[in-house]
Amino acid sequence: LVARLNGALAAGVAGAFPAATLSLLCPIAERLAAGPALAVEDWLRDTLAANRARDAAAGTGGVGAHRADMALADAATGLGAAQASTGQQKALLIGVILGHAALLAEARGFAPLLLLDEPAVHLDPGRRAALFAALARLPAQVFLTGTDSDTFLPLRGVAEGLRTGHGTLLPDPDFPQPQDHQM
């Protein structure tokens, strides 16, 4: 999946968002990439057995898939997400989300439902417009949340706007009901 996602991102599926390179940081995955699966199974079985007493005393496992991590970097610059600005991190992550949605749409024939919490925070107006345009192109139902309704004004007439109040969701008067419910 990581290789397919990297390929899709390199091909530009994320549109105006930077192509990211994802890396799986996992000794098991590294061994699987370098050698036969049976040898990796033997290594893992032996390692788990050798560490059993220490893991029991520590109350956790020192080796296993649960120890894997994901690294994210800008494919063009090589800048790791940890060193990037908050806006750059947000742009990279949105690109990955859009790329993953595109892969799922290709595999299943329909895009997943997306729930993006405060997606426009830390995006400049150009990237915000690019996000809204990319989401409009997805054949998917998309829910966006935010505390500043002005952020979503470019979606007026295209998307349905709701507010919270009295323990429920209420129509937002700033967002007239769109004629076509597809964003």
13: its two tokens: 């599926």
Instruction: Out of 3.40.50.300, 3.20.20.70, 3.40.50.1010, 3.30.499.10, select the CATH number for domain 2-26+68-171.
Output: 3.40.50.300
CA end-to-end span of the chain: 28
Contact (Cβ atoms closer than 8 angstroms) between residue 155 and residue 161: yes
Q: What is the pLDDT of residue 37?
A: 96
At 66, give phi and psi (nearest 5°): -65, -15
Give the pairing of strands 162-165 and 168-171: antiparallel
Predicted confidence band of residue 26 (pLDDT cuts 50, 70, 90)? very high
How large a percentage of the chain has pLDDT more than 90?
68
- Helix, strand, or coil (residue 148): coil
Q: What is the pLDDT of residue 113?
A: 95
CA dihedral 129, 9, 4, 119 (to 10 degrees): -30
* pTM of structure: 0.80
- Selection from 46, 16, 42 nearest residue 127 by Cα: 16
Model confidence over 52-108: pLDDT tens digits?
999 999 999 999 888 899 999 999 999 999 999 998 999 999 999 999 999 999 999
- What are the structural domain ranges in the chain? 2-26+68-171, 28-66
- Selection from 49, 39, 44, 8 nearest residue 26 by Cα: 44
